[in-house]
Amino acid sequence: MTQLSAAQTVQNRPSDGSKALYGGKGTRRITVRDIALAKERGEKWPMLTAYDAMTASVFDEAGIPVILVGDSAGNCHLGYETTVPVTMDEMTMLSAAVVRGTQRALIVGDLPFGSYQEGPVQALRSATRLVKDAGVGAVKLEGGERSHEQIRLLVESGIP
């Protein structure tokens, strides 16, 4: 296991100068901007995955700055053999539970397969649902170059 010095880890410095990004008690939610600033400073920070309020609250209390609600819930909690059957309804419900279980962490909601592949408008509709209905602070989607138009529209629309 690689050991990181204090200088190499996120030092709990959100953009407003409040508590440290990782490991401390803050008074506001961490944002994508906080993460970007930490990256600019060369800081390392953990991101863990949660699918329920209780697990998320433990991570949040421990100071984990970013929690992903992944479509891997399909394999881990919903009994699917793959992530493919996971729906937007399921991701919205799981993401909302994680948001309710936290006070400080940035919650990243995963867009499941089939929720953005048709194109940018479908991606925007799906991402908006996770932000509006579940309360996530950012969304994640897969695909790299083949999803660049979807990503462009999300960013232009203000969805991190």
pLDDT digits (tens, 9 = 90+) for 149-158: 999 999 999 9
**Higher-scoring residue by pLDDT: 25, 98:** 98
Q: Do the Cβ atoms of 82 and 74 come closer than 8 Å?
A: yes
Tokens of 55: 């697990």
22 located within any domain: no
Classify residue 147: in a domain, yes or no.
yes
Environment class of residue 86 by beta-carbon count within 10 Å: exposed (0-12), middle (13-18) or buried (19+)?
buried
Residue 30 falls within a domain, yes or no? no
Give yes or no for residue 70 having a pLDDT over 90: yes
Determine the pLDDT at residue 134. 98
Residue 128 has pLDDT above 70, yes or no: yes
Average pLDDT, the chain: 88
> Is the pLDDT assigned to residue 122 strictly greater than 60?
yes
CA distance 108 to 154: 14
Give Cα 141 to chain centroid, integer Å.
Answer: 11
Does 37 reside within a domain? Answer: no
pLDDT over 50 (residue 8): no
Segment 15-30 mean pLDDT: 63
Q: Looking at the domain assignment, is residue 83 inside a domain?
A: yes
Structural domain includes residue 5: no
Sheet containing 138-140: order of strands = 47-49, 66-69, 106-110, 138-140
Query: Model pTM?
Result: 0.84
Q: Residue 138 is part of a domain; what is its CATH number?
A: 3.20.20.60
d(CA 119, CA 129): 16
Domains in the chain, number: 1
pLDDT at residue 11 tops 60: no
Q: Is residue 75 part of a domain?
A: yes
pLDDT at 5 over 90: no
**Which domain, by its residues, includes 58?**
46-156
Per-residue pLDDT tens over the stretch 23-64: 555 668 999 999 999 999 999 999 999 999 999 999 999 999
Note whether residue 20 is domain-resident.
Answer: no
Q: How confident is the model at residue 9 (pLDDT cuts 50, 70, 90)?
A: very low
pLDDT at 2 over 50: no
